[in-house]
Chain A
Amino acid sequence: MPADPVPLLDVRDLCVSVPANGSMIRLVENVSFCVNEAEIVGLVGESGSGKSVTAMALMGLIDSPGVQVSGSARFRGQELVGMAPRALRNLRGGDIAMIFQDPMTAFTPVYTIGWQIDEQIRAHERLSRRAARARTVQLLAEMGVPDPARTAQRYPHQLSGGLRQRAMIAMALSCNPTLLIADEPTTALDVTVQAQILDLLRGLRHSHGSSVLLITHDMGVVAQTCSRTLVLYSGRMAESGPTATLFARPAHPYTAALLDSIPPLYGTRPHRLPAIAGVPPTPQERPAGCAFGPRCAYVHATCLPAPPPLASIGAGQQAACVLPTEGKPLPPRATAQAMQP
């Protein structure tokens, strides 16, 4: 990990709890990571692992009653957790922007695309309508939208999914954010469009100098895009580290299992693709020990009493697993080279 003195976003021990049946349930537990300038960090996990909740908590967008966010998230030294709503609003859409999963429903259906991008620009900068529209059209053009001036005058339902996601990214970039949080930006799109959108995200580092926090459940997307990766399981961190290391030598059995469940691009295909047996525990029924314990092939007595702490493995890699510290690390993956053509 390049040891920057002050990372752009520094999240420490972030916890998100919601009340249910009289007690607080922790959806996200002690998540820590940082994002440096012009870096793409991947946040990976199954559905319900707390990826989106983490992102929403950073943006202050969780509005379910009684929700509690604790820990610390410093953006350029400013504490985001517990920030005054007005100050947070200035950051949202300005310095920190977000792209959502489903471009089909993420635009208000009764306004044109251009109107909605103009609205964001004018919410953060004092600009005339005409100037805002000029920037909107330029942004759409940069995102590779054909005939941007006319597209700006169209309604969301008149555009294809790919165009809508481009418009969404254009809107997110409209105020030159330093951090872009992309919540499964390609999940709702078909594969060719997905590749184009990922290209676009990768290009942002150079064209806009933006960092990206990419939330996804797709290991392939992570491999193609992210310099560092954070694996979440049941609201807790399972493993984090540089993507290449993580893919070559996963230290947590969960990471290894996730990687194993991707069909290999090269070499012989397995007769049956290995799947992780069972389902992730709901936050209410999380076991006392390692949350992955019930599904883990390596589970043994030391895993059960308490969740294993994050242990440094070396070269910026950390894993919440007892195996490396017990001197029995997982074997390196044979397919690691094939994963990154």
Chain B
Amino acid sequence: MIAPLLRRLGQTLLVLFGVSVLVFAVFFATPGADPTARIAGRNASPQIMEKVRLEYGFDRALPVQYATMMKKLFITRDLASYADRGELVVPQILQAAPVTACLVCGAAFIWVGASIIMGTLAAAMKDTWVDRTLMMAGLVGISIPVFWLGQVANLVTQSRYHDTWLFSWVPGLGYVPFSEDPGGWFRALVIPWVVLAVMFIGIYSRVLRADLVALAGEDFMRTARAKGLSPTRVMLRHGLRTALVTFVSLFGLDFAQLVGGGALLTEVVFGLPGVGRLTYRALTNLDLPVIMATVMYSAIFVVVANAVVDMVYLLLDPRVRDAR
């Protein structure tokens, strides 16, 4: 059990190195554009250009440039944004990351719970009105764009019906740190959580239902019924438990992608200062160091989350445990 974990860890490190090289190459080693000008931003003076060139070693060999960049990102953490008057990039990201993490974890909690309940219920009551209603609701959830849903939620809770008893508790847009006011933190995040979760609830419940329905034809499900187990137990202990293997791999990818900045639209709509909104601002300003750092951050997250999923896989599926 330990050996496959270590092997997976080694692979993860290797992939991370590859990702960092690729990101560096895309931003600084693409021919035809001077990286100095890109870092320095629009309308930079020749003095600043010279300073940047020296600081990042753009007059030296590529490996040195790569090493300098990685040093600035991970060791000295003094990668600065020239477009934003020398603001340091890494602390910005470290500040934004918890906001995104809170948003995504809460949403994940909701979407995993809701989709397991919906998917299992729909599979158990296959071809009844319950199944059809739930799956239709799921389809609607998938089809609604998150920014639209967010805007409508804002419209309803912030302005139109804010003064009714139903939504008077909703605070203004923005984020309240958990350490300052847990209640305020929850109130500020609960609507973004639900809005972000809606699409995933749709996808996950449909996938889970399809999985469970397919599993119902499996021999081992027939065995479980022939053992005289109750339908609920057959569904949950044998069906759902086996279906979770697929569920987890899907979840790992989506979760990582969101924590890495994929919740950009939700963050922008609700004014949450997370990684997504940071990327969004950097894109509008063409703030190259920030863009690169967020891309790097998000890539790291996807890779790490994948490694975590693989390890959870080892726990969930004994067949995988022995395969390596």
Contact = CB atoms under 8 A, between A and B. Distances in A.
Contacts of B109: none
Given A100-B223, A157-B318, A108 B229 contact: no
Given A100-B219, A108-B238, A155 B319 contact: yes
Task: Report which residue of A94, A106, A107, A155 has the largest number of chain B beta carbons within 10 angstroms of its beta carbon.
Answer: A106
A301 interface: no
Given A106-B222, A108-B220, A155-B318, 17 more contacts: A89-B230, A97-B226, A100-B223, A105-B218, A105-B219, A107-B220, A109-B317, A110-B241, A110-B242, A110-B316, A119-B237, A120-B228, A123-B233, A124-B228, A155-B319, A157-B322, A168-B223
Nearest to B239: A108
A108 B220 CA distance: 5
Contact of A89 (B228, B241, B318): B228
B220 A105 contact: yes
Contacts of B219: 100, 102, 105-106
A135 interface: no
Q: Which 5 A-B pairs have the closest CB atoms?
A: A93-B228, A92-B228, A105-B219, A155-B318, A93-B227
B225 interface: yes
B228 A98 contact: no
Nearest to A181: B226
B127 interface: yes
B224 interface: yes
A123 B223 CA distance: 14
Contacts of A111: 241
B230 A107 contact: no
Contacts of B245: 110
A123 B227 contact: yes
A160 interface: no
A180 to B, nearest CB: 11
A209 B219 CA distance: 28
A124 B233 CA distance: 14
28 contacts: A61-B222, A61-B226, A65-B127, A89-B228, A89-B229, A90-B228, A92-B227, A92-B228, A93-B229, A94-B228, A100-B223, A105-B220, A106-B219, A106-B220, A107-B220, A107-B223, A108-B224, A108-B242, A109-B220, A110-B317, A111-B241, A112-B318, A120-B229, A123-B227, A155-B318, A157-B318, A157-B319, A158-B322
A174 to B, nearest CB: 9
Q: How large is the interface on B (under 10, 10 to 19, 20 to 34, 35 or more residues)?
A: 20 to 34
Contacts of A106: 219-220, 222-223
A90 B230 CA distance: 9
A91 interface: yes
A97 B229 CA distance: 12
A59 interface: yes
A109 B319 contact: yes
Interface in B203-244: 216, 218-220, 222-230, 233, 237-238, 241-242
Nearest to B319: A157
A53 to B, nearest CB: 13
Interface in B282-319: 316-319
A94 B228 CA distance: 7
Nearest to B223: A106
Contacts of B226: 59, 61, 92-93, 97-98, 100
Contact of B228 (A63, A123, A155): A123
Contacts of A105: 218-220
Contacts of A63: 216
Interface in A23-77: 59, 61, 63, 65
A213 to B, nearest CB: 14
A171 interface: yes
Contacts of A100: 219, 222-223, 226
B227 A120 contact: yes
Nearest to B221: A108
Given A61-B222, A107-B220, A108-B220, A119 B319 contact: no
Contacts of B316: 110
Contacts of B228: 89-94, 120, 123-124
Nearest to A108: B220
Contacts of B322: 155, 157-158
Task: Report which residue of B218, B225, B316 has the largest number of chain A beta carbons within 10 angstroms of its beta carbon.
Answer: B225
Given A65-B127, A92-B225, A158-B322, A109 B242 contact: yes
Nearest to B237: A119
A98 B224 CA distance: 11
A310 to B, nearest CB: 30
B222 to A, nearest CB: 6
Task: Report which residue of B224, B225, B227, B233 has the largest number of chain A beta carbons within 10 angstroms of its beta carbon.
Answer: B227
A171 B319 contact: no
Nearest to A55: B226
Contacts of B238: 108
A94 to B, nearest CB: 6
Contacts of B225: 61, 92
Given A65-B127, A110-B241, A119 B229 contact: yes
A209 B207 CA distance: 47
A178 to B, nearest CB: 14
A107 B221 CA distance: 8
A112 B319 CA distance: 11
A89 B226 CA distance: 8
Interface in B28-64: none
Contacts of A168: 223
Nearest to A85: B231
